[in-house]
Amino acid sequence: MVEIRLNDVSQMFEGREVLHQLTCSFQGGRVTAVAGANGSGKSTLLRLASRLMLPTSGTVDTFWNGAPVKGAEYRRLLALATPEMELYTRLTVRENLAFLLGVRGIASDDDTMAALLERVGLPREVLPRMTGQLSTGMRQRVRLAVVLGIDAEVWLLDEPGLALDERGRALLMNETRAAAKRGRLILWATNDREEREAADACVEL
């Protein structure tokens, strides 16, 4: 099972300290919320966990069944969905899914993609639509469909309920809970009370 450990991690941006000597760990089989005020470092923590940035000081380590995991081996364990994860708006939903799953070596035909869309509450008829024509909430569902399709060991979700309606949030909760039962490590940054309460643990920044 996977584990991410932050040891005495601090992060500076242009002389401003966002994270200060943070020590914590996240384990597979659990949903952990990262909460705090705007600017408290929630998204920064997810970027550190994903290795999109290195800490100013301290260490971030990942272990798989107790053995250290780094580089490409770690990236294969990772799925990331953030508001900055832009879909290709001039491509169809089908083309976006085929590309984003394909780069992870996951073959997907229309039936597979339609099943993923159904899991996030979108009809099969969305597949040929241009992604740029979708609402913000629908694009968020497509992002989540990508995460579901990859089904990596580590799910890093930044504001996962952003722009989702009540039904979409319920789908998100059900899918992440089911993933945790499969042993996945779920880490989401949120200010939403329901998302905090639905998590197994919460790191308050």
Confidence (pLDDT) at 192 = 86
**pLDDT per residue as tens digits for the range 55-90:** 999 999 999 999 999 988 998 999 988 877 789 999
How far the first Cα of the chain sits from its last, in Å, is 26
Residues in the chain: 205
Whole-number Å distance between alpha carbons of 31 and 180: 6
pLDDT (mean) for 5-17: 93
- Locate the domains of the chain by residue range: 1-77+184-205
CATH of 1-77+184-205, picked from 3.30.830.10, 3.20.20.80, 3.40.50.300, 2.40.50.140, is: 3.40.50.300
Check whether 34 has a pLDDT greater than 90: yes
Amino acid at 104: R
Q: Is the distance from CB of 91 to CB of 140 less than 8 angstroms?
A: no
The 3 state secondary structure assigned to 12-38 is EECCEEEEEEEEEEEECCEEEEEECCC
In the prediction, which pLDDT does 149 show?
95
Instruction: Over range 102-117, report the average pLDDT.
Output: 93
